[in-house]
């Protein structure tokens, strides 16, 4: 797979930020110098642009575990990759060089649901207008 940097990482981050912050009770902070999205003190999204010179622009998100990680990597290696440091903890990186924003939104919401407390995930979610 060819590594891909986004031609406009600021626009990619702005889109990720809009999607992530639309989820209930989310916040953003810098972690390791990169924008990180949190719910109830738990990380659910980590934006990376050329992290350790890897030539990738990605959003790292939680998965249900190793089986899901392997399934995603096998099914679509152009979209998914193993994020440094986070992969062993059940995370996957979603490519943002030429993103499918509906897929990015779905992966962020899944990651949010895996990190959020039950009181938030049990309530129906209202989509932003």
Return phi, psi of residue 102, to 5°. -65, -40
- Supply the pTM of this predicted model: 0.91
- Is there a contact between 108 and 45 (Cβ–Cβ < 8 Å)? yes
What does the pLDDT look like over 13-67, one tens digit per residue?
A: 999 999 999 999 999 999 988 999 999 999 999 999 999 888 999 999 999 999 9
Domain count, the chain: 1
CA torsion 15-18-22-28 (nearest 10°) is: 110
What does the pLDDT look like over 17-26, one tens digit per residue?
A: 999 999 999 9
> Nearest-CA neighbor of 97 among 61, 59, 57, 60?
57
4 occurs within a structural domain: no
Domain that includes residue 63, residue range? 9-117
- Give the CATH number, domain containing residue 49: 3.90.1150.30
18 occurs within a structural domain: yes
Q: Is the pLDDT of residue 1 over 70?
A: no
Provide the 3-class DSSP secondary structure of residue 92: strand
122 occurs within a structural domain: no
What does the pLDDT look like over 67-78, one tens digit per residue?
A: 999 999 999 999
129 occurs within a structural domain: no
Q: Is the pLDDT of residue 128 over 60?
A: no
25 occurs within a structural domain: yes
């Amino acid at each position: 797979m060819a590594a891909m940097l986004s031609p406009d990482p600021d626009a990619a981050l702005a889109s990720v930020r809009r999607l992530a912050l639309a989820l209930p009770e989310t916040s953003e902070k810098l972690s390791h110098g990169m924008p990180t999205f949190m719910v109830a003190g738990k990380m659910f999204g980590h934006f990376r642009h050329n992290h350790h010179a890897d030539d990738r622009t990605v959003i790292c998100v939680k998965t249900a575990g190793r089986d899901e990680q392997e399934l995603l990597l096998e099914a679509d290696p152009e979209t998914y990759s193993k994020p440094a440091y986070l992969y062993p903890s059940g995370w996957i990186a979603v490519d943002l060089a030429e993103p499918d924003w509906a897929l990015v939104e779905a992966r962020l919401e899944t990651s949010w649901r895996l990190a959020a407390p039950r009181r938030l995930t049990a309530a129906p979610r209202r989509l932003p207008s």
